[in-house]
């Protein structure tokens, strides 16, 4: 039996209008993100990967079709409800880590909880747990600039998982990492999926394929379960 669906696209598409030109970033797409699975989203530059991820993460609304997160169609939610959904249910990890530079690693991880209104002491305790999960306890008082790329990315993962979201969306989380750090970060993401989180990881890098439970290929705005084009063979 397959695991429960945490988020899904139903015929969801995205068009961008610039002047009189319309770009279809994503054609109508059906997609399901399931609990406990690590799904890789692979495809060339400009193919629509970030668009797919942004739809799932409720960062953009679809032009047509539906986005359903935890059973709720997001087009029925107000901006405010949507912001709350993002904060409580979705952890984001980006290529460039997006850590806040004047804050220590630990303070960065505490931030989502404090935004939810949690007190400092409890937020710190929870942040410690999340940082421990990514093996960074001994470096938690450091500023981001004193950490390596791989270490910063692990802190970004800790920040994404600290609020215990049912899903995590990662856009090129390994792009600025050396091969050794790529392995560490991917093992960590795999472990999180093992603990029941639904994970979507966008990448150009077909070397990440062995870490996936499922792979979706995106090409020219079309998503499919089979690779399109020679570059994936
Ligand atoms: N805000 C926007 N306005 C107009 N066009 C956009 C916008 N965002 C994306 N696009 C276009 O939509 C298409 C898909 O973009 P998307 O960012 O999803 O690609 P991607 O697969 O993530 O590429 P990359 O691997 O380079 O990050 C591209 O042609 C892009 O130029
Ligand atoms: Mg992208």
Does residue 14 lie within any of the structural domains?
Answer: yes
Q: pTM of the predicted model, to two decimals?
A: 0.90
Does residue 63 lie within any of the structural domains?
Answer: yes
Does the beta carbon of 21 sit less than 6 angstroms from any atom of ligand 1?
no
Does residue 158 lie within any of the structural domains?
Answer: yes
Does residue 9 lie within any of the structural domains?
Answer: yes
Q: What is the 40 CA–ligand 1 centroid distance (Å)?
A: 18
Does residue 28 lie within any of the structural domains?
Answer: yes
Q: What percent of the chain has pLDDT over 90?
A: 76
- pLDDT band for position 188 (50/70/90)? confident
Q: Which ligand 1 atom minimizes the distance to the CA of 14?
A: 12
Of 156, 154, 106, nearest to 128 by C-alpha is 106
Does residue 65 lie within any of the structural domains?
Answer: yes
Whether residue 6 contacts residue 69, with contact meaning beta carbons closer than 8 Å, is answered with yes
Q: What percent of the chain has pLDDT over 70?
A: 97
Q: What is the 57 CA–ligand 1 centroid distance (Å)?
A: 16
- d(C-alpha 33, C-alpha 84), whole Å: 20
Q: Give the chain's domain count.
A: 1
pLDDT of residue 229: 62
Give the residue numbers spanning the domain of 118. Answer: 5-227
**What's the CATH number where 86 sits?**
3.40.50.300
- The residue to mutate among 14, 17, 26, 51, having the most atoms of ligand 1 within 8 angstroms of its beta carbon, is 51
Ligand 1 atom 16: residue of nearest CA: 48
Summarize pLDDT for 63-98 with one digit per residue, the tens.
999 999 999 999 889 989 998 899 889 999 988 778
Does the beta carbon of 45 sit less than 6 angstroms from any atom of ligand 1?
yes
Whether residue 67 contacts residue 231, with contact meaning beta carbons closer than 8 Å, is answered with no
CB atoms inside a 10 Å sphere around CB 38? 25
Summarize pLDDT for 208-226 with one digit per residue, the tens.
999 999 999 999 999 998 7
74 is written with which tokens?
């997001």
Does residue 59 lie within any of the structural domains?
Answer: yes
Q: Which ligand 1 atom minimizes the distance to the CA of 51?
A: 18
Does residue 232 lie within any of the structural domains?
Answer: no
Ligand nearest to the CA of 41: 1
Going 177 to 7 to 52 to 62, the CA torsion angle's sign is negative
Ligand 1 atom 18: residue of nearest CA: 48
Q: Which residues surround ligand 2, an ion (CB under 5 A)?
A: 50
Summarize pLDDT for 12-52 with one digit per residue, the tens.
999 999 899 999 999 999 999 999 999 999 999 999 999 99
Token look-up 């001994």 returns 138
What are the Cα distances from residue 59, in Å, to 82, 95, 126, 152, 228?
9, 16, 26, 23, 27
Ligand 1 atom 25: residue of nearest CA: 45
Of 192, 26, 190, 163, nearest to 84 by C-alpha is 163
Q: Residue 78: phi, psi to the nearest 5?
A: -80, 165
Does the beta carbon of 53 sit less than 6 angstroms from any atom of ligand 1?
no
């Amino acid at each position: 039996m397959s695991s429960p669906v945490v988020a899904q696209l139903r015929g969801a598409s995205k068009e961008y209008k610039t002047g009189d030109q319309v770009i279809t970033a994503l054609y109508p797409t059906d997609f399901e993100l399931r609990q406990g699975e690590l799904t890789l989203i692979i495809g060339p530059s400009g193919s629509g990967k970030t668009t797919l991820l942004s739809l799932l993460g409720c960062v953009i609304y679809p032009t047509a079709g539906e986005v359903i997160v935890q059973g709720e169609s997001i087009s029925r939610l107000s901006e405010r409800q949507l912001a709350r959904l993002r904060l409580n249910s979705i952890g984001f990890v980006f290529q460039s880590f997006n850590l806040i530079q004047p804050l220590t690693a630990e303070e960065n991880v505490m931030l989502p909880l404090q935004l939810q209104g949690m007190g400092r002491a409890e937020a710190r305790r929870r942040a410690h747990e999340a940082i421990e999960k990514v093996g960074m306890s001994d470096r938690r008082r450091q500023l981001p600039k004193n950490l390596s790329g791989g270490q910063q990315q692990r802190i970004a993962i800790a920040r994404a998982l600290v609020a215990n979201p049912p899903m995590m969306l990662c856009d090129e989380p390994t792009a600025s990492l050396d091969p050794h750090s790529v392995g560490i970060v991917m093992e960590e993401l795999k472990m999180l999926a093992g603990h029941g989180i639904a994970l979507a990881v966008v990448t150009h890098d077909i070397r990440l394929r062995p870490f996936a439970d499922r792979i979706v290929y995106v090409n020219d705005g079309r998503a499919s379960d089979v690779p399109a084009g020679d570059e994936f063979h």
